[in-house]
Structure 1
Amino acid sequence: MPAAIRNLRNNPNLLFVRLPNLLSFICIVVGVVWLLLLPLNEYSRQTYISENALLPGQVHAYFTGSEQNIFRGYKKELEGLLNDGQARGGQKDEAEVTAAVSDKLQSILQAAGLKVATQKYEYTSAGITHRGENTYAIIHAPRGDATEAIVLVAPWKTADDELNLNGVTLALTLARYFKRWSLWSKDIIFLITPDSKTGTQAWIDAYHDMHPASVQPLPLKSGALQGALVIEYPFDHRFQSLHIVYDGVNGQLPNLDLFNTAVAIAGGQMGIGANLQEMWGHDDSYEHRLQTMFRGMTKQGLGYATGAHSSFMPYHIDAITLQTKGEGWEDEMALGRTIESLCRSLNNLLEHLHQSFFFYLLMQSNRFVSIGTYLPSAMLIAGNFTIMAIALWMRTGYYPETKPSANPKNEKAPTEEKPKMSSVAERHLALPLSLVVGLHLLGLLPLWVFNNIFHQYFTTTTYIFVVVDIVLPLLLAAILSNGLGLAKPIIPQQYHLIKSFSLLLLGLSLSTLATLNFSLSFMIGLLCAPLSFVTRLRGSAPFRLATSSLGLVLLNLVSPPTVLLGVCWYTGVSVEAVLTQAAFGWDVWGYDTCSLIANKHGITEADIEKFNKDTWAWLGCKQLYQGDFICLSSGKPPMPMALPQATCGPQVPGTVRPAKWADLAGLNPCASPKCCAFWGQCGVTELYCQKAGYRAPPAGPTATVKGATEAPKSLPTKTSAAGKSTGTSAKSQSTSKFTSKSKSTTKAGTLDVTTVTYKPTSTKTTKKWTPEPTVSQYPWTAPWEITMYSERNCEGDYYHLEGYNKKFLDDKGCLAVRGGLNSQYTETGVTCKWWTDNGFTWKSCDAGTLKKPESWVLKNGYCSVFSTDDCDCSDGWKTYHQPQGCYNATEKVWTPQWESLQCSIDGY
């Protein structure tokens, strides 16, 4: 054995060339074969329900009979509006038709007893403007606390751009039907959008307050979304089966339990066939399983949205689309009963779906493979690049030492000894590193170009980049190999280093990508496999020319531009359409991570973790979800905003900041044996008392506040502060999107402690607060608080203000409540929010829709109300002070328009 090892070390051609090539080839072959074995019964598994609370198909669905007449009536009304718009054509523009349809939808939903709201939006991408108006309504759960909700989506246009009249009509019918049931423990939201892409994205962005300026905020919200179902029924005849679409953006998938529940209810309870990946005649053979798996991998690898459900997944909301297919004997009532049973199953959930798989490959509606089974195939292909990179690195350091053998007795020419690896050659790294880094950065050029030009130029620009992709490597190769008078030719060692660094970076990237998007990693690895075997040729000139030309053609065939053109030609889709979709995805589906936020603000991820270790409900960078608020500087974290529905913890209205921040979690404790979760609710289940991350930690000097992603996300923590202090407050930002760029952030920065300014905008809100007070500097006391309601007896939507200034401060204390709260007086911290009566909807600090409240409560302090925005008493004013309970406006008591306020704790 030692002899064999020595022979191997002294044979560099075998050690550094043949053996790595063999190992790389084996890795590629085994990786492909591994994937091809997955459809076999020995490597795949039968699907099953992991979450027992779902109980699919265990309840009787009653959606039938008279509901069909309601369906037909609604459909006739909607058809009349659409036909009228088409008949009048030029006389009635699209905006008028849209307004008429929206009004009709609102009237139908309001007549059914639902709370209704609308949202207008506009997106611009690749020179195309997407605009529309969403209509949605909410059924508040009779047996719930408005902390959780289920969404039913019915787009007017399906993912295939077909009119979804039956789908919209069915949603309206289900809304009326669901309203009559008292069994719901979760709110039900019915969302009707103009299409399957922009409308849903605008609504879900605004629901989590991550929308751009061109998208209106939502005036009506509910709790944390537990799941979403999309209805697509685009034709008038009866259907044969249901096609379940589940692929999300960038390879994201819903929890497998949701898919399995839909299949179990459709096939088991309703007797409706369930299909996936457009495999209509699936006979459960190996070929059909493999074809289904490959279709799923293709959609996941390309990463585009396959329906309205795709917009929900970046927010960790499981969603699927139910599409009716074929011509059979199933009607809209059968689809309605399926949706009813699905909603009943989701209604049973005690916590967010989490027990089943989020990473899987489906090959039949009842068969799948999990990530632990399929991941090695992509890892093997990625590993081949790493093997070749290491071999090339070692090869560049190999230095054969030669010594002439001394033979004084013989005058023959000296002979050279066999090479030995007795020393290591010096590596010249500057050129290889610069070239590899520069070429990778050059890849940002087409990314920038295609996201900043109009769609009409996509095709021409693509062909330009194809030409550049062919010419540039040839030009670089000529310059590096021969110099061409521009530079010195590179030495063989530098050539090997360039290839080594490129393959190493490729292997590491694909290995990491495989854990997030297996399909994309596998496809890229397979296309790049020839790069492992590219080498300098030896032999005669004609042989080198022929082989080099063949290799160049092969490399260009697997290059990204050529693959794009080939796929477009094969599928019959234009290059412009593909790139337009990609540009929309880049512009609209965005995300933030701790790494991106840290780079943007010149800090590190470790800094973010350190700054937020005491932030209420901080989940850590590894569990960063949309809507989270994080501190971006050192200092003391903000006091959580008071939540009207909170019954325990620091967010109970009227709670003051403790002298010791460690005592925060112990404020307003629950009565034994209940436990307080970090969203301000008491309970006795595992969700509140045992599950790590949900229960609010006990008070104590070492208490650290943490939370969980399943908690309601519709109430991001806002700032409540008071008093004068010499401390430093923390800068915070609302995090964001898990799919691309940051679209909306909220920041609050360090400031002069004598000023409090609020300037809300649609996309960014700059908020300043005073730091945590020191007891010796400011005697802590309860804040002044006033809540103004839109209805009598203190009901309906309301606007809440609170602050800590002790005295009225002349004109400096004027609070203008139109267009944003603006406070210029000192020694105060003011929190404000516009709440709906369910306590889960809020806007910015603007009471523009509440010019004259019907009732109000002044819990503490004094407030003067003015009819002007500058607190000018010449046009009417009135002072209120601590009334008992609710104060109703009456005709006998003259009340000015509520344009501005002056409030204080002690009055004059």
Structure 2
Amino acid sequence: MGLLSDPNRRQALINLLTRLNAPICGMPVDWLVKTMQARGLEVFTQSFSRTLPFPDENTERYVVKGTNVYGILRAPRAPRTEALVLSAPCTPGDNNNQAVGLLLGLAHYFRNQVYWAKDIIFLVNEHDLIGMQAWLEGYHHTNVTGMDWSPLQGRGGSIQAALSLELSSDVVTSLDIVLEGLNGQLPNLDLANLFYAFCQKIGVLCTIQGKLQRNDWDSASGYNHAVQTMMLMVMKQASGRPWGDHGLFLRYHIEAATVKGVNSFRHYKTDATTIGRLLEGMYRKLNNLLERLHQSYFFYLLPSLSHFVSIGYYMPAFGLLAVILLLRALDLWVQLSAQPSRTEDGVAGTEQSNPGVLSVLTPLVISHLTGAALYMLPVRFQEVAVEHFPVSETEAVVLTAIAVYTAGLALPHNTHRYPDMGWRVLKLVALLYLAVLLGCTAVINFSLGFILALTLVPAAAYVTPHVPKALSAFFLVALSPACTLLFSVFFFQELQEMPVSFQDGWLLYLSVIAQGMLDHYLYGSLVFPLVALLVYPCWLLFWNILFWK
């Protein structure tokens, strides 16, 4: 397949990779520029800087400064209106040296071919997602995150598709494809099908979610394996974070995925030449596209690379949960309409005695003000917390968020004017509010909407002021957004077959909260503002109903 099937060219590529895969400490900008220029590319650089809202303790960085290096291979057979991107993040140390070397080797090989109808951009980005965000904003003349970056001096055509390459070791036993992007976006299913087809053709082991496909699909163990794989995808998609550099391309309607080389110590080994053949085949297929990938699904779940669950199969499950809210709201509406009320002359006067929406305005306003405090106070008051308590900035942000969240539980507000009917009006409003909120969330990010529906719908349907307070309060707290996140952390670790103790799980839980906030401020993830400004206030309404007097 292709010219890389020639043994002489394969040996030349191996020799080139051997020379290029020298240990890299930091970002060798000058070396990358000279190497790309020697390969016949138009080479440009972009500098960027970003001050994080609070330090990222996972990567130990606060002020990030870096440089992206990219080279453009101009299409010799087309008007250069479209482009493809191949990127490799350059991380400190030698974690991804093999990917950078393979990228440069492919740039040299692609340069000698004449069949390219699209520009091909070879990008080496520093500081992983932050560098990729700076480059994409510069390429598309947008600045949605407030990052400082220098304008790009060179551009290709409109980007049609992109692949990000990550090789964690010089020994690769399988290739894993990562699809989950920012806010749960997914590339067109044809991109995953293309990867799987070439892996099958070349004979490369391919995985998704780090799991190999089983042949006993119809057996109980095969079904359990498929469910675990699909649930891993659901959990990752629900997080709303980009799980690779490709995740930021999806915001610009660019079909993208990350290909990871995995060393799982299997007996099967894959060399760099085979990976190069795979990428060559994929880019030649993408090069032949006359239009963007759109023929297949954009909403799907993958139990394996050869099977998928389309939106037509999984959306009815969410619809059944949403119907519960609507039926419960209809029941309350009938109860409110059926209650008689009399004036002094014995004539019905429902307009005077029945509570309206204004009667529940107080709990609505206070709940949303609490949500606004949860969204704004943690980052704004981190310096004050650090001055008065022996904690770091990151710990101050997370602990402040937990404190505000907990303080909201102590603020049940109700309207005493209508002791019996007021809570029914409030619950009617809350049920409709929750139904609309979950419906809109499921359209944007099905996995997040489904997980929230699984926990919030039972609580919303059950809670009334007349149920046992202590047991119901425990039940309601256990199904709150914070506890749902805590349970999800442990469940995700179990799915990955890496269970943790409660102490380690709690530390991981705090880290996930901090990472969710950083993803929002750095890349525009919507999960944190959605939970803080909408989901949490909606849950507080049901908490108020439980303690209605």
Report TM bin, short chain.
Answer: 0.7 to 0.9
Letter of the aligned partner of 1:137 in structure 2?
A: G
**Change beyond 3 A, Cα 1:400–1:175:** same
2:464 aligned with 1:535, yes or no?
A: yes
Distance 1:253 1:215 in 2: 27
Letter of the aligned partner of 1:293 in structure 2?
A: M
Q: Structure 1 residue 292: deviation in Å?
A: 1.3
Which structure 2 residues correspond to residues 653-802 of structure 1 after superposition, within 5 A? none
Give the corresponding residue for 1:456: 392
- Which structure has the highest helix share of the two? 2
For the residue of structure 2 that corresponds to 1:217, the secondary structure is: coil
**1:601-640, Cα deviation, whole Å (9 max, x unpaired):** xxxxxxxxxxxxxxxxxxxxxxxxxxxxxxxxxxxxxxxx
- Aligned counterpart for 1:503 among listed residues 431, 448, 452: 431
- Aligned counterpart for 1:221 among listed residues 137, 155, 161: 155
Distance 2:180 2:142 in 1: 23
TM-score between both structures, scaled by the size of structure 2: 0.81
* Contact 2:182 2:242 (8 Å CA) reproduced: yes
Give the corresponding residue for 2:102: 170
Q: Structure 1 residue 562: deviation in Å?
A: 2.8
Give the corresponding residue for 1:135: 69
Which structure 2 residues correspond to residues 153-168 of structure 1 after superposition, within 5 A? 153-157=87-91, 163-168=95-100
**1:333-366, Cα deviation, whole Å (9 max, x unpaired):** 0000000000000001001111111111111111
Q: Structure 1 residue 386: deviation in Å?
A: 2.2
Which structure 2 residues correspond to residues 548-559 of structure 1 after superposition, within 5 A? 548-559=469-480
* Contact 1:386 1:507 (8 Å CA) reproduced: yes
Give the corresponding residue for 2:59: none
Q: Structure 1 residue 66: deviation in Å?
A: 4.2
Distance 2:197 2:251 in 1: 26
Give the corresponding residue for 2:207: 275
Letter of the aligned partner of 1:381 in structure 2?
A: L
Give the corresponding residue for 1:265: 198
**Change beyond 3 A, Cα 1:459–1:559:** farther
**Change beyond 3 A, Cα 1:179–1:315:** same
Distance 2:418 2:15 in 1: 77
* Contact 2:398 2:514 (8 Å CA) reproduced: no
Give the corresponding residue for 2:184: 251
Letter of the aligned partner of 1:248 in structure 2?
A: G
**Change beyond 3 A, Cα 1:386–1:188:** same
RMSD: 2.9
Give the corresponding residue for 1:102: 29
Unaligned runs of 5+ in 1: 1-56, 86-96, 404-420, 481-486, 538-543, 593-908
Give the corresponding residue for 2:47: 120
- Aligned counterpart for 2:113 among listed residues 176, 181, 185: 181
Q: Structure 1 residue 213: deviation in Å?
A: 5.7
* Contact 1:379 1:514 (8 Å CA) reproduced: no
Distance 1:469 1:453 in 2: 15
* Contact 1:63 1:340 (8 Å CA) reproduced: no
Identity fraction in percent: 32
Give the corresponding residue for 1:586: 520
2:484 aligned with 1:563, yes or no?
A: yes
**1:768-805, Cα deviation, whole Å (9 max, x unpaired):** xxxxxxxxxxxxxxxxxxxxxxxxxxxxxxxxxxxxxx
**Change beyond 3 A, Cα 1:397–1:165:** same
**Change beyond 3 A, Cα 1:588–1:467:** closer
> Bigger radius of gyration, 1 or 2?
1
2:378 aligned with 1:446, yes or no?
A: no
**Change beyond 3 A, Cα 1:553–1:72:** farther
**1:440-485, Cα deviation, whole Å (9 max, x unpaired):** 24312211234446593444554455455455445426xx3xxxxx
Distance 1:194 1:71 in 2: 25
* Contact 2:206 2:212 (8 Å CA) reproduced: no
**1:847-891, Cα deviation, whole Å (9 max, x unpaired):** xxxxxxxxxxxxxxxxxxxxxxxxxxxxxxxxxxxxxxxxxxxxx
Give aligned pairs, total.
483
**Change beyond 3 A, Cα 1:314–1:518:** same
* Contact 2:73 2:119 (8 Å CA) reproduced: yes
Distance 1:300 1:64 in 2: 42
Q: Structure 1 residue 257: deviation in Å?
A: 0.6
**1:645-698, Cα deviation, whole Å (9 max, x unpaired):** xxxxxxxxxxxxxxxxxxxxxxxxxxxxxxxxxxxxxxxxxxxxxxxxxxxxxx
**Change beyond 3 A, Cα 1:129–1:387:** farther
Letter of the aligned partner of 2:284 in structure 1?
A: R
**Change beyond 3 A, Cα 1:391–1:456:** farther
Give the corresponding residue for 1:199: 131
Unaligned runs of 5+ in 2: 55-61, 383-390, 494-504, 527-549
Q: Structure 1 residue 204: deviation in Å?
A: 1.0
Q: Which stretch of the first structure deviates more once superposed, 388-397 or 253-262?
A: 388-397
Letter of the aligned partner of 2:477 in structure 1?
A: N
Give the corresponding residue for 2:358: 430
- Aligned counterpart for 1:291 among listed residues 218, 224, 228: 228
Give the corresponding residue for 2:250: 313
Q: Which has the higher contact order (CA 8 A, sep 6+)?
A: 2
Give the corresponding residue for 2:168: 234
Distance 2:7 2:297 in 1: 34
Distance 1:396 1:304 in 2: 43
**1:58-109, Cα deviation, whole Å (9 max, x unpaired):** x6644754454454445445525x3xx5xxxxxxxxxxx53xx111111111
**1:812-851, Cα deviation, whole Å (9 max, x unpaired):** xxxxxxxxxxxxxxxxxxxxxxxxxxxxxxxxxxxxxxxx
2:449 aligned with 1:521, yes or no?
A: yes
Give the corresponding residue for 2:280: 340
* Contact 1:143 1:184 (8 Å CA) reproduced: yes
Give the corresponding residue for 2:22: 79
Distance 1:170 1:77 in 2: 8
Give the corresponding residue for 1:355: 295
Distance 1:507 1:316 in 2: 28
**Change beyond 3 A, Cα 1:402–1:154:** closer
**Change beyond 3 A, Cα 1:513–1:213:** closer
Letter of the aligned partner of 1:167 in structure 2?
A: A
Distance 2:77 2:431 in 1: 58
Letter of the aligned partner of 1:116 in structure 2?
A: V
Q: Structure 1 residue 432: deviation in Å?
A: 0.8
Segments of 4+ moved more than 6 angstroms: 421-424
Q: Which stretch of the first structure deviates more once superposed, 360-369 or 463-472?
A: 463-472
**Change beyond 3 A, Cα 1:577–1:72:** farther
Q: Structure 1 residue 488: deviation in Å?
A: 4.2
**Change beyond 3 A, Cα 1:471–1:143:** closer
For the residue of structure 1 that corresponds to 2:238, the secondary structure is: helix
Q: Structure 1 residue 323: deviation in Å?
A: 0.9
